[in-house]
Chain A
Amino acid sequence: DVKVTQSSRYLVKRTGEKVFLECVQDMDHENMFWYRQDPGLGLRLIYFSYDVKMKEKGDIPEGYSVSREKKERFSLILESASTNQTSMYLCASSRVRDRRGDTQYFGPGTRLTVL
């Protein structure tokens, strides 16, 4: 069974704090992704990684960084959290079968509130 887990379902942080969101997949997938989901805006890609230590910016990378030291783990980092980063964060992974479009499998999400 496909399994993507995220470290927290709910998280409350203060403005200016450094925040780490962790994602782990146990399917030996090459690709991993971080999205944020906001009402009326759908899912927007923040960063993705196609290999260990490899990353690529998505549509809204500003204010975020990522780390992928091991194949199964992909971390999203908010260097200095701001209130406009309050959102639902979704992690996904995919196996590379067809680089034109692989199915992504999602974790349960982390609802982050920045006060």
Chain B
Amino acid sequence: AQKVTQAQTEISVVEKEDVTLDCVYETRDTTYYLFWYKQPPSGELVFLIRRNSFDEQNEISGRYSWNFQKSTSSFNFTITASQVVDSAVYFCALSEFKDSGYSTLTFGKGTMLLVSP
């Protein structure tokens, strides 16, 4: 069965610190996708990134970067120079290909990031 583990339940940092959120996954699919979502206090999940299992290049978007390592089944997310607005719950998710021919997402339990001034 699919599984996504976010071992860090809660992380607290001070503004301008770098922080890495860990994500480890298990899957039997040979082709799959990995995702990160952000859930600010308002509650709506915001899509951050989607990654194909064949693309192991790291990605950078502003202060955000993602490190995908297939050998260790990890897809970690780093925020550089954190800001108070980064405070949120972050979810890692893994696609699961169903017998119906469609895919669903399996989510980790989330990591709450608290950035204090």
B12 interface contact, C-beta 8 A: no
Across-interface contacts of B97 in A (CB, < 8 A)? 99-101
**In the bound complex, CA of A111 to CA of B45 (Å):** 14
Query: Interface stretch among A11-19, A21-29, A40-48, A76-84?
Result: A40-48
Q: Which residues of B contact A (CB under 8 A)?
A: 29, 31-33, 35, 37, 42-47, 50, 52, 91, 95, 97-98, 100-105, 107-110
Complex contact B102–A42 (CB within 8 A): no
A60 interface contact, C-beta 8 A: no
Across-interface contacts of A100 in B (CB, < 8 A)? 29, 31-33, 95, 97, 103
A100 nearest CB neighbor, chain B only: B31
Complex contact B32–A108 (CB within 8 A): no
Most buried by B among A48, A96, A100: A100
**In the bound complex, CA of A41 to CA of B103 (Å):** 21
Complex contact B100–A50 (CB within 8 A): yes
A58 nearest CB neighbor, chain B only: B104
Across-interface contacts of A43 in B (CB, < 8 A)? 91, 107
Across-interface contacts of B29 in A (CB, < 8 A)? 100
B52 nearest CB neighbor, chain A only: A101
* Chain A interface bracket (under 10, 10 to 19, 20 to 34, 35 or more): 20 to 34
Complex contact B32–A96 (CB within 8 A): no
Interface residues of A in 39-79 (CB under 8 A from B): 40-45, 48, 50, 56, 58
**Partner pick for B110 among A31, A42, A92, CB 8 A cutoff:** A42
Across-interface contacts of A31 in B (CB, < 8 A)? 102
Q: Which residues of A contact B (CB under 8 A)?
A: 31, 33, 40-45, 48, 50, 56, 58, 88, 90, 92, 96, 98-109, 111
Complex contact B50–A42 (CB within 8 A): no
**In the bound complex, CA of A107 to CA of B42 (Å):** 11
Across-interface contacts of A44 in B (CB, < 8 A)? 107
Say yes or no: A104-B102 contact (C-beta < 8 A), given A42-B91, A109-B44.
Answer: no
Complex contact A99–B50 (CB within 8 A): no
